[in-house]
Structure 1
């Protein structure tokens, strides 16, 4: 059973943090094989080291993400334009119905509305940039040859230890069974 050299980056809870395999500092980042045969804890800093691993970038996913961002921008612009047209339409209806004093009040209300609307998009932009920076981190890695060989060796050793434990348990069971040993001869010589 071969271990693929494709590792997915996952996060665990702070309470589940364990020592990094390289520097032994507590870490919440885990590299896991796709079929979950093997995993190990690793620091975020090690994931950025070229000598440890390199990211595997799916170009199709990157292109799809860019296309989705472009589509979202176009939709946002269309919504904004539509809202502007609706607001102007309502203003035109109000200005036709009210006298000049009413217009001055509307202008004051508009400026207050605009002030209220401005902070919201800024907050949304901040959260969207934070999400984008989190998404920018690669999630799939390929270990360098030496580290991959170390993982294979550890995996083989663990399997060997497991086999030895099973063998010793079977031997213990055999030895505890009295029918395992030969019986004393009952015939005369």
Structure 2
């Protein structure tokens, strides 16, 4: 029997393919599977957080990429805020210049128009921000770990199970072989 590595990848299946959890027997759509597809079992996501069942294997490259992505997102937000502040200042300057030139009557009419326009623009900006946030949240991958190592007792249980399956197959093959059984005595007494 080839040795089984203690590395299990988390996979999700459709709700219709849910099977009982190895631990609690509740229907689960999470599957832990070895990279060579020799062993797999269904497990609840809450059991994956149990340190006595399994522990996550942290991928350094993935963590570095995730941190870099977070830093980029923070920088983008900072630049967006600065740009919005500059746009607001620019609008205020233009507004103050126009106010100085206009009469008091024109000022009231324009203020009402500008206030309506500014409210519409602010509403539009808010909607765009909300859409961008929703898109950002939807595009974010699941941050939970995807590679696990089983605790030694559970790992040994999986190895024993695979050995048992292999022994059962060998026994079935032996039973099919007629030379395994004793032959009928041939001498007449």
TM-score after normalising by structure 1? 0.72
User: How far apart are residue 76 of structure 1 and its match?
Assistant: 3.7
Secondary structure at 1:136 match in 2: coil
**1:131–1:141 distance in 2 versus 1, CA, 3 Å:** farther
User: Is 1:136 the equivalent of 2:137?
Assistant: no
Q: Which one is further off, 142-151 or 36-45?
A: 36-45
Tell me the equivalent position of 2:119. 111
| Residue segments in structure 2 that go unaligned for 5+ positions in a row | 180-189
Q: Cα distance, 1:106 vs. partner?
A: 3.0
- Cα deviations across residues 137-161 of structure 1 (Å, max 9, x unaligned)? 2111110000000000111111222
Structure-to-structure mapping, 1:150-165, within 5 angstroms: 150-165=157-172
Structure 1 alignment gaps of length 5 or more: 175-189
RMSD: 3.3
Change (3 A) 1:55 1:67: same
1:47 maps to 48
- Shift in Å, 1:129: 5.4
Task: Find the aligned partners of 1:141 and 1:22 in 2 and give their Cα distance.
Answer: 16
Is 1:17 matched up with 2:18? yes
TM-score with structure 2 length normalisation?
A: 0.72
